Structure 1
Amino acid sequence: MKLCPTMLIVDFFGTESLPIAEEFGISKYVYIASNAWFLSLMVYSPTLDEEVKGEFVDEKEPLKIPGCRSVHPQIDIVDGMQDRTSQQYNEHLGIARRLLLQVME
């Protein structure tokens, strides 16, 4: 191969391959075609994890995300955030901690 890869771009479901990019010393990115509200929820998830005790769906008040409308736990919480003791929730947090956003108008 004459040209070597210089970066790895994966979608939301390909994040398990990001360590391979590290191993080869190339840049890594996650592409998410989504709306700003969902991306804000994803990026803010680690903060919510620290601030909210217990399950999100048990919260009486909406969860506040800076710059966005409030999240109503019983309606708006994505499946990966429903059960904080699950492996899916831990994977959700791992993905949220690795997201880097570039926003343009």
Structure 2
Amino acid sequence: MDIQNYNQQIKHIAKLASLNNLIKASMRIGYRTKDVDAEKWEILSSHIGRRSFASNFYGKIPTPLLMEATGHSTEQIFLRYINPIDNDRILSLSNYFDKMYEERLVS
């Protein structure tokens, strides 16, 4: 299936699934992008699947293989694309706030 047909089909499926809540998005119209309010089904494309695949399998599949699948030439650009969350840093921050909260209760 070619990419244009795939994108048409995924929109049709999403419309049938009633993914019709309004969202703000940037849509390409010709050679320019325009900020629009559109129903979610209108915005779906193969790119969403590509990015979800890369994000969901980061750390589970070797990064060079993911980069090959997504077409990224450098790891720096790939990491910016998937925007991985540093869970250890988030957990450390949470623990810090918990500790501060407990100390205030005791005081």
Which TM-score applies when normalising by structure 1? Answer: 0.29
- Which structure has greater helix proportion? 2
Report the TM-score when normalising by structure 2: 0.29
